[in-house]
C-alpha cells in the first residue's frame, strides 16, 4: 500500500471515529466511565453475591426495584423505610421472584428523620446477619414549589431527611466498616446534587450537601482502600418521587403529578447502579439525553450551563403550573433499554 493511500485512510478514520463517538454519546444513558464498566467491567452477578445489603427507601421506586434485582444475586437483604406493609409486600415479591429464603430478608422499619433510632437499627442488622457489606442510602423526598411561596419547614424537612438522616445512618454503620476495613457506602443522590433547577431549591440544597459530605468522607477514608464511598446521580427516573414530593407546605403533596412515562425505566437505572457497585465507581451519572448533556455542561462549561438552565427553568415552572411533569420539556424518544 502506498504512503498516500495510508494517509488518506488515516485522514478518513479520524472524522469517522469522531462521528461514532458523537453518536454513542447522543445515545448514552450514563457517564462514559459507567458505560465502559457496563461493556468491559465486572458483572454484578459475579461481584455482589453473598453480601449483606441494607437498602433504605426500599418500599417504593428505585429502592424497591434495587432489592428485586439484588434478590436474584444471592445476597442477604435489609429492607428499610417507614411503611411496614409496603416493605412486607416487597419482601413477598422478592421471595416469589428471587433466589432468597425468608431468613435472608430482614424487614426493618426506619424513619430517616428519627435519628435517635439509627444506632438501634444498625445493631439489629448486625445481630441478624453479623455484618453489613453495603449500605445503600436511597430513601428521600423531592420538592415542587417556588422558594418565595415555600415555608421554611419544607427546607428543614428536606435537610433532616435527605441530608442529616443519611449522614446519621452512615455514621452508625461506618465504625463497623472501619473495623472490618471493608464495605461500600452507596448514596443515591441526584443530578440536582450537581446542578440546580427551579421548584426544587430545598431538594437541590440537600443533595448538594450530600455530595459535599460524601466527597469529604472519602478523603478521610483514603487509608481504608477497601471502603468504597460511591455517589450515584440519576436524572429523571420512573418512580413515586413526584407524587411524594413536598410542596410549599410540609404537610402537603402534589395533587397532579403529570405523565411520568417518558422518564428512564426504573429497571435500567437500577441495573446501572448495580454495575457501578460491582466496579467500585465513585461518581456515577445515570440519565437519558438531554439531561446527561446538561450535567456535562455544568461540569465543563458552567457559564453556558447557567444560561441554558435559566431558559429551561422558565419552561419547568410553566410545565408545573400547567399540571404537567416539570421536566417534560420535549417529547423524549424512549431509549433502547425501556
Ligand atoms: N426518581 C427520580 O427521578 C430520581 C432522580 C434522582 C434521584 N432520585 C433519588 O432516588 C431516591 C429514591 O427515590 P424514588 O425516585 O425511588 O422515589 P419514591 O418512589 O418516592 O421512593 C422514596 C423512598 O424513600 C422512602 N422515604 C421517604 N421518606 C422517608 C423517611 N422519612 N424515612 C425513611 N424512608 C423514607 C419512601 O418510603 P416510605 O414512604 O415508606 O418511608 C420510599 O421507599 C431518592 O433519594 C431520590 O432523591 C430519584
User: pLDDT tens digits, residue range 138-182?
Assistant: 999 999 999 999 999 999 999 999 999 999 999 999 999 999 999
Ligand 1 atom, smallest distance to 58 CA: 43
User: Which are the catalytic amino acids?
Assistant: 203
CB of 112 sitting under 6 A from ligand 1: yes
Distance 9 CA to ligand 1 centre (A): 52
CB of 240 sitting under 6 A from ligand 1: yes
Q: Return the CATH number at 228.
A: 3.40.50.720
- Cβ neighbours of 338 (radius 10 Å): 15
Distance 81 CA to ligand 1 centre (A): 9
**Residue 334 clears pLDDT 80, i.e. is over it:** no
Residue 205 resides in a domain = yes
Residue 300 resides in a domain = no
Least confident of 81-95, 197-211, 320-334: 320-334
- Within its chain, how far is the Cα of 162 from the centroid? 12
Do the Cβ atoms of 162 and 200 come closer than 8 Å? no
pLDDT at 148: 97
For residue 254, what is its C-alpha cell?
402534589
Whether the upstream peptide bond of residue 191 has omega within 30° of 0, thus cis, is: no
Whole-number Å distance between alpha carbons of 76 and 97: 15
- Cβ neighbours of 20 (radius 10 Å): 10
Which of 241, 245, 269 for mutating ligand 1's site (highest number of atoms within 8 Å of CB)?
A: 241
pLDDT at 118: 98
- Cβ neighbours of 25 (radius 10 Å): 14
Residue of the CA atom closest to atom 43 of ligand 1: 57
* Dihedral over Cα of 241, 243, 244, 247: its sign: positive
Please state the length of the chain.
338
pLDDT at 3: 85
Whole-number Å distance between alpha carbons of 324 and 80: 31
CB of 30 sitting under 6 A from ligand 1: no
CB of 183 sitting under 6 A from ligand 1: no
**What's the order of all strands across the beta sheet hosting 52-56?**
105-107, 76-80, 52-56, 134-137, 183-188, 227-234, 283-286
User: pLDDT tens digits, residue range 225-284?
Assistant: 999 999 999 999 999 999 999 999 988 888 778 889 999 999 999 999 999 999 999 999
Distances (CA, A) of 232 to 83, 198, 224, 325: 24, 21, 21, 23
- The percent of residues in the chain predicted with pLDDT above 70, rounded, is 97
> Which H helix or E strand runs over 184?
strand 183-188
Distance 4 CA to ligand 1 centre (A): 60
- Please state the pTM of the whole predicted model: 0.94
Q: What's the mean pLDDT when you consider all of the chain?
A: 94
User: pLDDT tens digits, residue range 79-137?
Assistant: 999 999 999 999 999 999 988 999 999 999 999 999 999 999 999 999 999 999 999 99
User: pLDDT tens digits, residue range 209-222?
Assistant: 999 999 999 999 99
Question: Exposure pattern of 112-128 as b/e (b: 16+ CB <10 Å)?
Answer: bbebebbeebbeebeee
Residue 312 resides in a domain = no
Number of domains in the chain: 1
Do the Cβ atoms of 278 and 180 come closer than 8 Å? no
Do the Cβ atoms of 226 and 182 come closer than 8 Å? yes
Which of 56, 61, 64 for mutating ligand 1's site (highest number of atoms within 8 Å of CB)?
A: 61
Residue span of the structural domain in which 270 resides: 32-293
Do the Cβ atoms of 258 and 246 come closer than 8 Å? no
Ligand 1 atom, smallest distance to 82 CA: 41
Do the Cβ atoms of 53 and 76 come closer than 8 Å? yes
Residue 186 resides in a domain = yes
**Residue 332 clears pLDDT 80, i.e. is over it:** no
Do the Cβ atoms of 158 and 141 come closer than 8 Å? yes
Three-state SS at 296: helix
User: pLDDT tens digits, residue range 39-93?
Assistant: 999 999 999 999 999 999 999 999 999 999 999 999 999 999 999 999 999 999 9
**Residue 336 clears pLDDT 50, i.e. is over it:** no
Residue 102 resides in a domain = yes
Residue 328 resides in a domain = no
User: pLDDT tens digits, residue range 279-300?
Assistant: 999 999 999 999 999 999 999 9
Angle ∠(144,189,279) on CA atoms, nearest 5: 155
* Nearest residue to 313 (alpha-carbon basis) of 290, 324, 325, 329: 329
For residue 324, what is its C-alpha cell?
404537567
CB of 231 sitting under 6 A from ligand 1: no
Whole-number Å distance between alpha carbons of 214 and 187: 8
Residue 247 resides in a domain = yes
pLDDT at 252: 80
Residue 264 resides in a domain = yes
Amino acid at each position: 500500500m502506498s504512503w498516500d493511500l495510508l494517509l488518506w485512510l488515516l485522514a478518513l478514520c479520524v472524522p469517522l471515529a469522531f462521528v461514532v463517538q458523537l453518536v454513542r454519546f447522543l445515545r448514552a444513558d450514563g457517564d462514559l466511565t459507567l458505560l465502559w464498566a457496563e461493556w468491559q467491567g465486572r458483572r454484578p452477578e459475579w461481584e455482589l453475591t453473598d453480601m449483606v445489603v441494607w437498602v433504605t427507601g426500599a418500599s417504593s421506586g428505585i429502592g424497591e426495584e434495587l432489592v428485586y434485582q439484588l434478590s436474584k444475586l444471592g445476597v442477604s437483604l435489609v429492607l428499610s423505610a417507614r411503611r411496614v406493609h409496603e416493605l412486607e409486600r416487597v419482601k413477598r415479591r422478592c421471595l416469589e421472584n428471587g433466589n432468597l429464603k425468608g431468613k435472608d430478608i430482614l424487614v426493618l422499619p426506619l424513619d430517616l428523620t428519627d435519628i435517635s433510632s439509627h444506632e438501634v437499627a444498625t445493631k439489629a442488622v448486625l445481630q441478624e446477619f453479623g455484618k453489613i457489606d453495603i449500605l445503600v442510602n436511597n430513601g428521600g423526598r423531592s420538592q415542587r414549589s417556588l422558594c418565595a411561596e415555600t415555608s421554611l419547614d419544607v427546607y428543614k424537612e428536606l435537610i433532616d431527611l435527605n441530608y442529616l438522616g443519611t449522614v446519621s445512618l452512615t455514621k452508625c454503620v461506618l465504625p463497623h466498616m472501619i473495623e472490618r476495613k471493608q464495605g461500600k457506602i452507596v448514596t443515591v443522590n441526584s443530578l440536582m446534587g450537581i446542578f440546580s433547577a427551579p421548584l426544587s431549591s430545598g431538594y437541590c440544597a440537600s443533595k448538594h450537601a450530600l455530595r459535599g459530605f460524601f466527597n469529604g468522607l472519602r478523603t478521610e477514608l483514603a487509608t481504608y482502600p477497601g471502603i468504597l464511598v460511591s455517589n450515584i446521580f440519576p436524572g429523571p427516573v420512573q418512580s413515586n418521587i413526584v407524587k411524594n414530593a413536598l410542596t410549599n407546605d410540609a404537610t402537603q403533596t402534589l395533587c397532579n403529578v403529570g405523565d411520568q412515562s417518558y422518564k428512564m425505566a426504573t429497571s435500567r437505572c437500577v441495573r446501572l447502579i448495580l454495575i457501578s457497585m460491582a466496579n467500585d465507581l465513585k461518581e456515577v451519572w445515570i440519565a437519558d439525553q438531554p439531561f446527561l448533556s446538561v450535567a456535562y455542561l455544568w461540569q465543563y462549561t458552567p457559564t453556558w450551563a447557567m444560561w441554558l438552565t435559566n431558559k429551561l427553568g422558565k419552561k419547568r415552572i410553566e410545565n408545573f403550573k400547567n399540571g404537567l411533569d416539570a421536566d417534560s420539556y420535549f417529547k423524549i424518544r424512549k431509549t433502547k433499554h425501556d
